[in-house]
Chain A
Amino acid sequence: MRRLLAALFALGFVAVAAPALAETTLEKISGTGVLTVGTRRGSPPFGFVSKTNEWVGFSIDLVEQAIKPAIEKKLGKVIKVELKESTPATRIPLLTSNQVDLIAETMTDTRARRDSVDFSLTYFVTGAQFLVKKGSAIHGIQDIVGRRVAAQQGSTNAKIIRERVPTAELREFPDQPAAFQALAQGQVQAYTNDGIQLAGLKAKAPRPAEWEIVGDFYSYEPFGMAMRKNESDFRAVVNNGLMEAIESGQYFELYEKWFGPKGEVPYPLAPENKRFLLMQVVPK
């Protein structure tokens, strides 16, 4: 139902906003002096409201410290960053209706989505894994035959499991807390979701050490920042900002801040992911 409403809203927004689409994103930012960014309020550590009631996060830091300077350099003037709440249902309409210029949250770059928006280079990589009790016999998707596995209802992960391991007993829950409770009590033997989500869940659990995230990624979720389509100048500036952050090591400092052992959600950077990030940086 929510998706339906979002779709209706989207239609409305597009209808209203279409005539205003005359200037490019860079011209708009230059004119207003503001870069408007859609991000999350409840998606730690990418974008969330901290204990001190500040809107912070890894994606927000990347925008503030990597993208904003790149735009300022390009325009030759100082700009401000304004944050707006976006959700999976509203983010594409927000972009296409010019209400935000950039989506920086937890959006997976997919070919289907590339029909409606353009993506920056990949700035975070995750994929589906399993959360299990420490010492469980489940070490990955190969071990779930005949086991009770919880998933989020309607998620791509549930879809993939149904196709690849039809003999697994899939239990789909509408929300994460119920699925985790079922895992904690033994109703299910594993809970599957994107690795970073599981890391967040584990970090918040009463006794994080009792839980283990296992398995190779059996789905691939590359996060990108989304922009309006056919804005190659703006996209080049955003990508330059990200590339410079990766090249200079600033990206990895921010990664350590949010995902390091002392970060909001500990999620070590796999060597192959680090290599992948570095290889996206093209020569100057």
Chain B
Amino acid sequence: MRYAFHWEVLWSGQSGRWLLQGLATTVELSALGWVLAAALGIVSGAMRTVPWRPLRALATVYVEFFRNVPLLVWMFFWYFGVPPLLPEAIREWLFRHGAEFWAGTFALGVYHGARMSEVIRGGIQAIPRTQFEAAVAMGLTTFQAYRLVIVPIALRLSIPPATNESLNLLKNSSVALTISVAELTFQTRQIEAYTARALEALTAGTVIYLVLCVGIAAIMARVEHRFAIPGLIARGG
């Protein structure tokens, strides 16, 4: 195939600004979604292991309900399904203040929170039961044992799979374009629509996602190294 690349379309006209706007939106959306996902994931992941059945059941329902429905459906749910349930004044306020962005954030956060929950639960269950028993024997309450002993260790154990999940979250933020959030993928398509230069636009998008993801993975690797508990896990490197 002979295709003459015109890379200048990426910085001529409005394309460069669009890419930067798209990048900013993707980062904002993913960061907020990630905070929500991490919070929900840690709380529900811990809840799934506590010795009290109602809490476990509640967390199980959350996880199974939210991770087993496609993200696209959740996007439509938060954007189209939730607003009619809100009082008129709040709804109007939301519509005037980027409802699609917040719907996207919730869809991403709640969906990935359910997936993150399993990652955290895996981390908690990898800790020998005796740790918990020792903590309680020392006089900590269950809540204290979780807050001070179990969760801090589980988080460290969960860093590799949680990194994976975070990268998925970032890439999945592109689904928000279906509810008109002008994130990175949306903007690459926009450039394609304006310049008919599909390959250049797609390449730009691909490279930006790749750089973002590799960057996050590198940061997480450093975090993992920095917070490793000496002697707890054998590590290479």
Chain A residues within CB distance 8 Å of chain B: 1, 3-4, 8, 11, 148, 150, 153-155, 159, 171-174, 178, 181-182, 185-187
Nearest Cβ on chain A to B6's Cβ, whole angstroms: 15
- Given contacts A1-B198, A187-B95, whether A153 and B83 have CB atoms under 8 Å apart is no
Is the beta-carbon distance between B180 and A150 smaller than 8 angstroms?
yes
Is the beta-carbon distance between B193 and A153 smaller than 8 angstroms?
yes
Nearest Cβ on chain B to A207's Cβ, whole angstroms: 17
Is the beta-carbon distance between A159 and B95 smaller than 8 angstroms?
no
User: In the assembly, what is the distance between CA of A169 and CA of B32, in Å?
Assistant: 23
Is the beta-carbon distance between A185 and B198 smaller than 8 angstroms?
no
Contacts of A154 in B (CB 8 A): 189-190, 192-193
Q: Does B212 contact A (CB under 8 A)?
A: no
B107-139: CB near A (< 8 Å → 1, else 0) gives 000000000000000000000000000000000
Nearest Cβ on chain B to A278's Cβ, whole angstroms: 36
Is the beta-carbon distance between B189 and A153 smaller than 8 angstroms?
yes
Contacts of B96 in A (CB 8 A): 148
Q: In the complex, which of the residues B84, B178, B182 contacts A174, with contact meaning CB atoms closer than 8 Å?
A: B178
Is the beta-carbon distance between B100 and A187 smaller than 8 angstroms?
yes
Q: In the complex, which of the residues B80, B180, B196, B198 contacts A172, with contact meaning CB atoms closer than 8 Å?
A: B180
Within 8 A of A (CB), among B69-98: 76, 79-80, 83-84, 91-92, 95-96
Q: Whose C-beta in chain A lies nearest to the C-beta of B92?
A: A186
Q: Whose C-beta in chain A lies nearest to the C-beta of B91?
A: A186
- Given contacts A3-B192, A153-B193, A154-B192, whether A174 and B177 have CB atoms under 8 Å apart is yes
Nearest Cβ on chain A to B72's Cβ, whole angstroms: 11
Contacts of B80 in A (CB 8 A): 181-182, 185, 187
Nearest Cβ on chain B to A141's Cβ, whole angstroms: 20
Chain B residues within CB distance 8 Å of chain A: 1, 76, 79-80, 83-84, 91-92, 95-96, 99-100, 177-180, 182, 186, 189-190, 192-194, 196, 198-199, 202
Is the beta-carbon distance between A182 and B180 smaller than 8 angstroms?
yes
Q: Whose C-beta in chain B lies nearest to the C-beta of A181?
A: B80
Is the beta-carbon distance between A186 and B95 smaller than 8 angstroms?
yes
User: In the assembly, what is the distance between CA of A153 and CA of B181, in Å?
Assistant: 11
- Given contacts A172-B180, A181-B80, A186-B91, whether A153 and B190 have CB atoms under 8 Å apart is yes
User: In the assembly, what is the distance between CA of A273 and CA of B176, in Å?
Assistant: 40
Q: Whose C-beta in chain A lies nearest to the C-beta of B199?
A: A4
- Known A-B contacts: A153-B190, A172-B182. Give 19 more (CB < 8 A): A1-B198, A1-B202, A3-B196, A3-B198, A4-B199, A148-B95, A153-B189, A153-B193, A159-B193, A159-B194, A171-B180, A172-B180, A173-B178, A173-B180, A174-B178, A178-B76, A181-B80, A182-B180, A187-B79
Q: What are 24 contact pairs spanning A and B, CB under 8 A?
A: A1-B198, A1-B202, A3-B198, A8-B1, A11-B1, A148-B95, A148-B96, A153-B177, A153-B186, A153-B193, A154-B192, A155-B193, A159-B193, A159-B194, A171-B180, A178-B76, A178-B178, A181-B80, A182-B79, A185-B80, A185-B83, A185-B84, A186-B83, A187-B100
Contacts of B194 in A (CB 8 A): 159
Q: Whose C-beta in chain A lies nearest to the C-beta of B181?
A: A171
Is the beta-carbon distance between B198 and A187 smaller than 8 angstroms?
no
User: In the assembly, what is the distance between CA of A1 and CA of B198, in Å?
Assistant: 7
Q: Which A-B residue pairs are the 5 nearest by beta carbons?
A: A154-B193, A171-B180, A4-B198, A173-B180, A187-B95
Nearest Cβ on chain B to A8's Cβ, whole angstroms: 7
User: In the assembly, what is the distance between CA of A232 and CA of B231, in Å?
Assistant: 85
User: In the assembly, what is the distance between CA of A148 and CA of B198, in Å?
Assistant: 28
User: In the assembly, what is the distance between CA of A135 and CA of B193, in Å?
Assistant: 34
User: In the assembly, what is the distance between CA of A153 and CA of B192, in Å?
Assistant: 11
Nearest Cβ on chain A to B73's Cβ, whole angstroms: 13
User: In the assembly, what is the distance between CA of A150 and CA of B182, in Å?
Assistant: 13
Contacts of A4 in B (CB 8 A): 198-199
Q: In the complex, which of the residues B83, B186, B192 contacts A187, with contact meaning CB atoms closer than 8 Å?
A: B83
Nearest Cβ on chain B to A78's Cβ, whole angstroms: 43
User: In the assembly, what is the distance between CA of A153 and CA of B191, in Å?
Assistant: 11
User: In the assembly, what is the distance between CA of A159 and CA of B83, in Å?
Assistant: 29
